[in-house]
Structure 1
Amino acid sequence: MSQTLTPPPGSAPAPGRAVQPAHPGQPGGQTGTASLTQAQERAERRAGVRSALRRTPGKLRIALAVCVLASIVFGALGFQAARVQGIALEDARSDTSQLVGIQDVRNNLVVADASATNAFLVGGLEPADQRARYDDAIANASIRLAELAGSNSADATELGVVASQVTVYTGLIEQARANNRQGFPVGSAYLDQASTLLRDEILPTLTTLVDDNAERVASDLSMVRNAMWILAAGLLCLALLIVTQVWLAKRTHRVLNVGLLVASIVLLVVGVGGAVLLSQTNSAAAAVRDGPYAATLAASTAYSEANDAKAMESFTLIKRGSGQTYEESFVELTADAAQRLDQAAADGNLDGTSAGYLDDWVVQHQAIRALDDAGDWDGAVALATSADEGGPNAAFAAFSQTVTSDIAENIKATQADLASAGNRSALAGWLLLAAGLAAAVLAWRGLNVRLEEYR
């Protein structure tokens, strides 16, 4: 019989013989066994978690987390909706102020131009009141340009250019005056240059800035409306609490859970109240847009166009028989101004008084044109420059006083209404946030009571 020889300890295995794996208890098998044990432990933990979540206590913990999170999200979304509204309203106030300020600059410049051209008709030393009106208008325009350039960086470059051009314009007007006092015909050429600079460069730039700010205001007010969608998303969180309340009633065979019930009531009541406040804010913003803000734009634009037309009236006479183009501009400007004021009165935003005074002045203008067209140029100039009560300048002064009062009242109402709407929105935001946090605490306490029953 053959014998199997066992190699001595420490010797290499015989060729062709397989190496036996190490015993699990030996060092060679420790790494693989440890990895297998860790994987088994992780799998057991996951299985334990799944098993725990399938049981009622586990489901209660999930419901508790969902309700608390939903309540917090509700408050956060409500606060954010109000915050978006508040920011939009503040931006609308700022952009509205900027827009009206730019229109004020435009109005002052056309008032100055109308005064300068009307005074030019007198010849020699112009009337002191018209000179004072011109100086005041230019000074106001210059001050407002500096203020507006500093209040909105988006308009600063263009307003800086306008300020430089106004300096050139006033220099040309002074040249026109100096020559007109001495009876030099070249004075009208300087007046033409000043008018061309004003109407071809300065006023178009200001009009573009007005349009840009009007777009910003419209965008701001649309954000007030869009904030309602954020609140609508927050109200979905209330549905989660109601669903949980129904599930809990079926699961525990108890109709009510006081904590959840009170949390749901808090969210419902404050949610409805907050929605009403934010909706009122949205309505208030829309009312401002269609009310005093629209009236401000209409009155301000009409005032600017009327003063521009006043300058055209003077230029028609200055050109002595070759001013038909200026008369056509007068008709277009006054027709558009009247249409704006009539529409504002029809919408209930203005009382129609300024529109009536504008019509009176246009009728007076027809008397000037009748004299000039009949060959009585001197009579037409005398009527156009007369300060007598019942004359064209008196009618224009009555219109100016009324329409500037309309502008001041409506911009004041616009700012006040937007500020009031912003305060209402801020109140709604804090109420919604507080309600969300309170509901989170109530939901936690209500569900925690049920969890305690399983311990």
Structure 2
Amino acid sequence: MTAPLTTTNPAAADPGPSTTTSTTPGTTAAPVTPAGRLRAGLATTPGRLALATTVAVVACLLLGVTGFLAGNGQSAALQDAQRDAAQLVGTQELRNDLVSADATATNAFLVGGLEPTEARERYETSLSEAAEAVPSLAATARGAGEAADLAAVADSVQRYAGLVESARANNRQGFPVGAAYLDQASAALRDEVLPTIDEVAVSTSQRVDADMGSVSLAQALLLFVLLSLVALGAVQLWLARRTHRVLNTGLAAASVALLVGGVVAAAAVLGGNGVARSVASGPYAATVATSEALSLATDAKSMESFTLIKRGSGGDFEESYQTSLADAKALLAEAAEATDTGSDPLSLLNAWDEKHTEIRALDDEGSWDDAVRAATATGDDTAGAAFTAFSDQAHADVEAMSDDAVDRLGSAATTAQVAAWIALVLGVAGAVAAAAGMNVRLKEYR
């Protein structure tokens, strides 16, 4: 018999080289995770040097970016405050022009017949300045609502001017209806035009306050500037202890760049905030108060004329006069506390008020003609001359103080913008210097 043939598997007979990892029986090799690799890397000096390099570079860039954002943001806020403050002053001047035109028209009406040429010229000048100011203010208004309100003012001013012309035409011919037209014109101005202008002024004033608040917000970013300086200092301290070398040229250059950039950014931002506060409580506050006082006093002059036009029934107008003048005096006192212009419009307003008292005394005694002559006279030591002296001084103060406020805000905005770019450039330069300095140490381990 032949023995059966047996087949043998070569692979089973010769397993070849072992491809398995020798492990302790019953255990499995743990996979290597990214966190594990990071910990292993940081356990070595080169790994720690790489991390320190990253911290130093990020600290430099953080200072540059935050310094730029702080300076640039504050510059934008200061420019907004500058623009809105100028817009508010322009809106108040528009109001002053309109009440000045009305005061001139009502005072000239007392003369009867053809009004004096000087009075007519003052009226036309005030009205034309108001008409020219409206489109300019509407074009620079921030918001469709304000632009629409100012457009409505332009239409109402045209209506007011038409009513005044009707009053003048009838007054020249001696028709009593002229007084009715003048009443209607003045009512249209006070009921339609001035409230709308006041609403625009209030919204603009609120915007100025918001702009001033935004200026101070930039200071919060200075915390990141300080954090950057601390982080870079910590890297240098660690490196000195690790390598036993006191000076690293790259890190030293980065420290100087960051210190200069931080000081420049901090000085500009803190200085800009100080300028905004001083302007808000100084020339800006005084400008707004003086302009409002001028408007109230001019309105009081109109009331003075109406007390005489009504001939014995002008008690309500006298009350309005006293209220407006008291408010104007209070505002001028506030302006004097806010800033010193070297002038004293309040004393000039008091001088005109004394003339008004004399006019009222003549009218109350029954000397209406004498009272009218005293109210309409324009020579020296007259009510007209006293009011003109006050008005001219108030206008000059408003112009000087508003220019001062706008110039100071603009200068601070420019300084903050320059500081922003300085901080950014020095931050980037510091990052390059820090990376170069740390790279020298890293090469020692390669």
The TM-score normalised by the length of structure 1 is 0.88
Aligned to 1:259: 250
Question: Is 1:395 aligned to residue 375 of structure 2?
Answer: no
SS at structure 1 position matched to 2:110: helix
Distance 2:34 2:370 in 1: 107
**Counterpart selection for 2:239 from 226, 244, 248:** 248
Q: Matches of residues 164-183 of structure 1 in structure 2 within 5 Å? A: 164-183=155-174
Deviations 1:310-364 (A, max 9, x none): 0000001111111111101111111111111122223333334211111100000
Q: Matches of residues 148-227 of structure 1 in structure 2 within 5 Å? A: 148-154=137-143, 155-227=146-218
SS at structure 2 position matched to 1:52: helix
**Counterpart selection for 1:405 from 393, 396, 403:** 396
**Counterpart selection for 1:141 from 113, 116, 130:** 130
Q: Matches of residues 30-429 of structure 1 in structure 2 within 5 Å? A: 43=32, 47-154=36-143, 155-429=146-420
Q: CA deviation at 1:408?
A: 1.1
Q: CA deviation at 1:52?
A: 2.1
Aligned residues: 419
Q: CA deviation at 1:379?
A: 0.9
User: Contact between 1:263 and 1:442, CA under 8 Å: does it hold in 2?
Assistant: yes
Aligned to 1:19: none
Name the CA shift for 1:168/1:41 in 2 (closer, same or farther; >3 Å): farther
Q: CA deviation at 1:47?
A: 4.3
Name the CA shift for 1:225/1:48 in 2 (closer, same or farther; >3 Å): closer
Q: Matches of residues 19-30 of structure 1 in structure 2 within 5 Å? A: none
Distance 1:311 1:44 in 2: 87
Name the CA shift for 1:373/1:57 in 2 (closer, same or farther; >3 Å): same
Distance 1:431 1:218 in 2: 29
Distance 2:385 2:333 in 1: 22
Which 10-residue stretch deviates more, 267-276 or 319-328?
Answer: 267-276
Deviations 1:1-38 (A, max 9, x none): xxxxx9xxxxxxxxxxxxxxxxxx9xxxxxxxxxxxxx
Aligned to 2:12: none
Distance 1:46 1:366 in 2: 90
Distance 2:119 2:349 in 1: 20
Distance 1:148 1:66 in 2: 51
Distance 2:32 2:324 in 1: 84
Distance 2:34 2:217 in 1: 47
Gaps of 5+ in 2: 1-5, 7-14, 16-28
Distance 2:348 2:196 in 1: 29
Distance 1:264 1:85 in 2: 25
Name the CA shift for 1:201/1:82 in 2 (closer, same or farther; >3 Å): same
Amino acid at match of 1:131: R
Distance 2:378 2:37 in 1: 99
Distance 2:133 2:403 in 1: 17
Distance 2:365 2:34 in 1: 107
Deviations 1:340-399 (A, max 9, x none): 112222333333421111110000000000001111111111110112210000101111
Distance 1:46 1:389 in 2: 93
SS at structure 2 position matched to 1:57: helix
Deviations 1:397-433 (A, max 9, x none): 1111111111111111112111111121112112211
The TM-score normalised by the length of structure 2 is 0.90
**Counterpart selection for 1:437 from 419, 422, 428:** 428
Distance 2:212 2:45 in 1: 50
SS at structure 2 position matched to 1:43: coil
Indicate the RMSD between aligned Cα atoms, in angstroms.
2.0
Which 10-residue stretch deviates more, 418-427 or 357-366?
Answer: 418-427
Amino acid at match of 1:137: S
Name the CA shift for 1:279/1:153 in 2 (closer, same or farther; >3 Å): closer
